[in-house]
Homo-oligomer: A and B are copies of this chain.
Amino acid sequence: MRHLLSTKTITRDEAIALLDIAEDMADVAGREVKKLPTLRGKTVVNLFFEDSTRTRISFEAAAKRLSADVINFSAKGSSVSKGESLKDTAQTLSAMGADAVVIRHHASGAPLVLAQSGWIDAGIINAGDGTHEHPTQALLDAFTIRRRLHGTASRGKDLDGVTVTIVGDILHSRVARSNLWLLTTLGARVSFVAPPTLLPADTSAWPATFGFDLDTAIDAGPDVVMMLRIQAERMSASFFPSPREYARGWGLNDERFARLRADSIVMHPGPMNRGLEISSAAADSARSTVLEQVANGVSVRMAALYLLLSGDREDS
């Protein structure tokens, strides 16, 4: 794998291969010494144009567990904020010997530009670009679902026939998009539930079903309910009347959680707004995978870094 930019272009076999390597990486996490020498001498740069301590730390932990050197580059206060172009930043990191660049950017498509530009030799991992994609999030979500369904027998398996209901701000969510492509490729069936203001206007290219009513969706008994985070900046932008109104209509509150099929799993990419899109009872229940998602995030990112940085990177 040359870059990891999007889940849209990942084939079923590629996805399963990556998830299988992540299984191996998860095994390492259980050892006394969690460190592998695999990426010794490689340099991973975390190039973050948006703050995201959670995602940055997850990549940093993943890279260090593989013995790579990590350099954190926050675009704030750097020459980037002095008007340096993405091109010059990229070429500079390349010249310094970066082997992989993990980029989070407010502009959709920035990681793709970087990868296609020829400005940089490094492998590029998209760690979230605008409202476009967040592929490692989708991969860790798929990994988490597969493990819940198949346990230690997960290797080689896809998600054939699994029903996943994703609830919340679909319009702006890169998590929703990356999950849609990946889960569908793996054989799952995705449906989205949101207030009309938070669904895309044109969904003809989206292989999913759409609904406005969370109660109906809950009663349909999906295998997975994935609640998305409501960003604070949406609340003041009249996408919905008030946080209370949102929680009442589209939050996974205690009452809805009680009605959910007994073996459905509850997911959230974090950080959670407890009491808004999800109640504490739902978030902390045994059916919640919130913390498994965080742990699996490190394993999946180890797998991605491994695929980009070891062996023959020209493969795909």
Contact = CB atoms under 8 A, between A and B. Distances in A.
A242 interface: no
Given A53-B79, A61-B43, A71-B57, A88 B33 contact: no
A292 interface: yes
Contact of A95 (B65, B79, B291): B291
A95 B294 contact: yes
Interface stretch (A166-174, A178-186, A271-279): A271-279
A57 B47 CA distance: 12
Nearest to A81: B51
Given A82-B232, A294-B95, A64 B43 contact: yes
A49 interface: no
A41 B33 CA distance: 5
Given A71-B60, A92-B270, A53 B77 contact: yes
A61 B73 CA distance: 12
A68 to B, nearest CB: 10
A97 B271 contact: no
A10 interface: no
A295 B163 CA distance: 50
A58 interface: yes
Consensus secondary structure, chain A interface: mixed
Nearest to A276: B83
A20 interface: no
B85 A274 contact: yes
A40 interface: yes
A295 B69 contact: no
A37 B246 CA distance: 52
A54 interface: yes
Contacts of A315: none
A97 B54 contact: no
Interface of A: 29, 31-35, 40-43, 45, 51-54, 57-58, 60-61, 64-65, 69, 71, 73-74, 77-80, 82-85, 88, 91-97, 232, 270-274, 290-292, 294-295, 297-298
13 contacts: A32-B41, A35-B69, A57-B73, A57-B93, A58-B96, A61-B97, A65-B69, A82-B271, A83-B232, A83-B273, A85-B274, A95-B291, A95-B292
